[in-house]
Amino acid sequence: MEKSKKLKFLKSYLAVKQKVNRLVAESGLQEYTIFSIYSILTGLLVGTAAVLFHESINIIFDNLFDNFAVTNPFGFWVVVFLPAIGMLLQSLMIKIAPDTAKHRGVSDVIKAVMLRGGFIKFKTTIFHFIAPVINMGFGGTVGPEGPAAQIGGGVASKLGQFLGLSDSQRRILTAAGSGAAIAAVFNSPLGGVFFAFEVILLHDFHSVTFAGLILASVTASAVTRIFLGNAPTFIFGQTSIGPYTQLYIFILLGIFTGLVSALYINYSEKIGNLFHQKILKRIPQWLAMALVGLALGIIGYFYPDAFGIGYNAINNILASVYPIYVVLILAAVKFIFVPLILSSGGFGGVFAPTLFIGAGAGYIFAVGMNYLFGVNIDVPTYTLVSMGAVLGGVNFIPLTAILIIFEMTRDYTLIIPLMFAVILSTIIVQWLAKEPAYIKHLEKGGLSISKGKSLDILRSLRVRDLMKKQLIKVNQQMPLPELVKRFVSGENKIIYVVDDNDRVTGIISDAEMRPIITEYDSLKDFFVAADFANKMFTTLHKNDNLEYVFKLFGKFNYEEFPVVEYGTEKLIGTLFKHDVISAYNKESFKDNVAEGILSELKTIETTKWSHVADGYSIMEEKVPQSFVGRTLANLRLRNKYNVEVLMIKRPNSIFNSDEGEKIIFPDANYILQKDDIFVLFGSDENLSKISEWK
């Protein structure tokens, strides 16, 4: 009966989906207009989700701490144990759904945008809605912004799946959803736009992308203003940056907050390593999480403002309500416990904690400057600037941090000191800590994001695919006259000098040959090839990927490298720089073509051809049984059959519409599965030989 209901629901879902897609196709609207409408719809949905997320946290927290704990006769024990109970509930969720629990925070949104065409399972979005709500509702001293960005990205991804968008469109929409969530949480539309640009898209700018980010962020921010009001999150009086002769103090603040930010990143990394390499291998995760929650509960009983998100405490710091020692303790609690909670397994973000730490650091800095040096600077102003500097420094988001603080204060006079402090803080963090926590997390998982999609393309290609075996090779004892003759008569302008075992001992290029030819008459009877060979060279192996090779070309400024056999080091070929660039351009073009014709390809039946140019076609072919379980790199279809795999289509099960992809853009390590269908591009002649695969 349950299966029948599910089947009925899914059939209705698919029918609605098809009807929507048909209406869009028949509307006659331009693609840019349609995508703008989708972006606004994303903002509406994400804004609504952000309101629900915000209110869920507040309802649980207020009922537990302001009502239940206050009226309960065992108030002390209730307060102490509430964070531990919250951590235990999260550990139970991890136990029930360990795979879903791993896909957490901003890092997973970046992975989805980079590697999965913006695809996020909706059950992942639901899980990461509930878990952070429990954590912060039960007093966990983390932030809502990271989970909100993940929820926003997940909602947008689901919308993209429902609308049947291509990978490139869904990628943009997912990033826009994350940015819209940040815009909604901070009531900062521009902050949300630049968060998506700086963090999720890793500075990958396109005009259509930027338009989508703006529309989604503005719409989401409008939704939160309607339901939660337009009051600013942080309340403060008139700001004053003081005379411009005191701007150097903001520079000092930037240096100070940069050191604080770098210290936090390093501390967070060490705590993470401690938990994953030692603690969680010795004791169960639920126990570690409960102990962290219990420790927070004990401290929070004496300093209640340490519990939860901490926005009220930041307002108290801005209003100078606390004595300086309380500010120091509260900032220290955030500094110490946020990495403990997240590393042990708790769910939450670091934006709000870094704002809190920044507020504490700025307050202490300003009060200290006034007390020690008598400079009479405005404490709330330096507190606000410090919040932006630590936010930007810890998370490597200088533009986002500047805009968030600016939009919250709406005070143009803060822009110059804010820019000084945030940029200096970020520079110092880059110098000391190198990378923000989320990038280190990604790279520990084997994903390098320093160059985005270009590295993914280069990493999928190998030297063996491009190396040439036609080269000039001479023995190191070859007399000079014969050497000159070989150089002049050959097409290659590089001569490889080898020993008797065919191992490269040097390289002779134009740079070495030019002085030889000038002084040829006086040198010809006395010198051999080894005398002129350049001994400073680098060799490649045939299995090296082109990411590594491209870095070598940039470092040494050579036009080609010798390729040698691994182990024996015998010369087997050469790799030209222009071939690497050409291969990259070809792969990029292939990806762009694949995305551009995606909608047409979806309509092609198996083995049906689609002619795209004179003598060239696209066709589909079911993956042969003999290919199942093997990788594309292992099959080497380009080399053997001279055809390109544009993409792979996989039929979805109606019961698993959320778990598969209809269209997959595979890399070289993609493992073929039973129901996969190749989408191939090549000459008609080569495509007609596909039957040979079987």
In a domain, 274, yes or no: yes
CA distance 157 to 167: 10
pTM of the model: 0.67
- Say whether both 132 and 162 belong to one domain: yes
pLDDT bracket for residue 557 (50, 70, 90): low
Count of alpha carbons within 13 angstroms of residue 684, beta-carbon side: 9
Q: What is the mean pLDDT of residues 262-284?
A: 92
And the tokens for 395?
Answer: 């998370």
pLDDT tens string 50-65: 999 999 999 999 999 8
Band of pLDDT at residue 542, cut at 50, 70 and 90: confident
Report which of residues 1 and 587 the model is more confident about. 587
The CA-CA-CA angle for residues 632, 635, 638, to 5°, reads: 80
Confidence label for 481 from pLDDT (cuts 50, 70 and 90)? confident
What local confidence, expressed as pLDDT, does residue 452 receive? 45
Write out pLDDT tens, residues 211-270: 778 888 889 889 988 888 877 778 888 888 888 888 899 999 999 999 999 999 999 989
The four Cα atoms 310, 311, 317, 319 give a dihedral, to 10 degrees, of: -150
Predicted confidence at residue 285, as pLDDT, reads 94
Indicate whether 12 belongs to any domain. no
**129/251 same-domain check:** no
Same domain, 426 and 548: no
Same domain as 623, residue 565:
no
Mean pLDDT, residues 491-504? 82
The CA distance from 164 to 143, in Å, is 33
Q: 20 in a domain, yes or no? A: no
In this predicted structure, what is the pLDDT of residue 27? 65
pLDDT level of residue 607 (50, 70, 90 thresholds): very low
Using one digit for the tens of pLDDT, what is the confidence trace for 303-321?
999 999 999 999 999 999 9
Token couple for 568? 């024996």
**Within this chain, do residues 261 and 410 fall inside the same structural domain, yes or no?**
yes
Q: Are 217 and 193 in contact (CB under 8 A)?
A: yes
Distance CA 646, CA 632 (A): 12
Mean pLDDT of 174-198: 84
Give the Cα separation of 250 and 273 in Å (integer): 34
The CATH number covering residue 492 comes to 3.10.580.10
Residue 118 and residue 262 share a domain: no
| Residue range 117-173, pLDDT digits in tens | 677 888 889 999 999 999 999 999 998 888 998 899 899 888 887 877 766 677 788
Whether 330 shows a pLDDT value over 90: the answer reads yes
Quote the mean pLDDT of the chain: 80
Name the burial class of residue 40, with classes exposed (0-12), middle (13-18) and buried (19+) by CB atoms within 10 angstroms of its CB. middle
Same domain, 334 and 465: no
Q: What is the pLDDT of residue 208?
A: 55
CB-based contacts of 242-247 (< 8 A; 24+ apart in sequence): 242/376, 242/377, 242/378, 242/381, 246/375, 246/377, 247/416, 247/417, 247/420
Structural domain includes residue 664 = yes
CA–CA dist 468, 462 (Å, integer): 13
Q: How many domains does the chain have?
A: 4
Q: Are residues 204 and 80 in the same domain?
A: yes
Q: Which of 262-266, 581-585, 632-636 has the lowest mean pLDDT?
A: 581-585
Percent of the chain with pLDDT over 70: 78
Residue 17 domain flag = no
| Partner residues linked to 497 by β-bridges | 474, 506
286 domain residue, yes or no: no
CATH of the domain at 629: 3.30.70.1450
**Locate tokens 């997390």: which residue?**
441
So what's the pLDDT on residue 29? 67
At 658, the pLDDT band (50, 70, 90 cuts) reads very low
User: What is residue 605's predicted lDDT score, i.e. its pLDDT?
Assistant: 43
* Whether 655 contacts 10, CB under 8 Å: yes
- On whether residue 10 sits in a domain, the answer given is no
Domain boundary among 581, 612, 645: 581
Q: What is the mean pLDDT of residues 85-101?
A: 93
Same domain (yes/no): 463, 576: yes
Judged against a pLDDT cut of 60, whether residue 475 lies above it is answered with yes
Instruction: Assess whether 658 and 546 both reside in one domain.
Output: no
The answer, yes or no, to whether residue 45 has pLDDT greater than 80, is yes
- Does residue 390 sit in the same domain as residue 248? yes
pLDDT at 591: 55
Token pair listed for 5: 């209901």
What's the domain range around 657?
597-693
Integer CA distances (angstroms), 325 to 58, 383, 555, 616, in order? 28, 16, 52, 75
Task: Please check whether residue 540 is in contact with residue 427, taking contact to mean a CB–CB distance below 8 angstroms.
Answer: no
Last residue of a domain, one of 184, 200, 228: 228
Higher pLDDT, 594 or 180: 180
Do the Cβ atoms of 495 and 487 come closer than 8 Å? yes
The residues facing 570 across adjacent strands are: 503
Among candidate residues 527, 556, 581, the one where a domain is terminated: 581
**Is the domain of 549 the same as that of 650?**
no
pLDDT tens by residue, 351-380: 899 999 999 999 999 999 999 998 889 999
Residue 141's pLDDT is: 93
Res 202: pLDDT = 61
Q: Name the percent of the chain lying above pLDDT 90.
A: 29
Q: What is the largest CA-CA distance in the chain?
A: 106
Quick: pLDDT tens for 426-467: 999 988 876 665 565 555 544 544 444 445 556 667 888 888
Separation of first and last alpha carbons in the chain = 43
Tokens 């010795």 found at: 282
Q: Does 93 or 374 have the greater pLDDT score?
A: 93
- Distance CA(415)–CA(474), nearest Å, equals 65
Burial class of residue 387 (count of CB atoms within 10 Å of its CB; 0-12, 13-18, 19+): buried
In a domain, 287, yes or no: no
CATH number of the domain where residue 134 is located: 1.10.3080.10
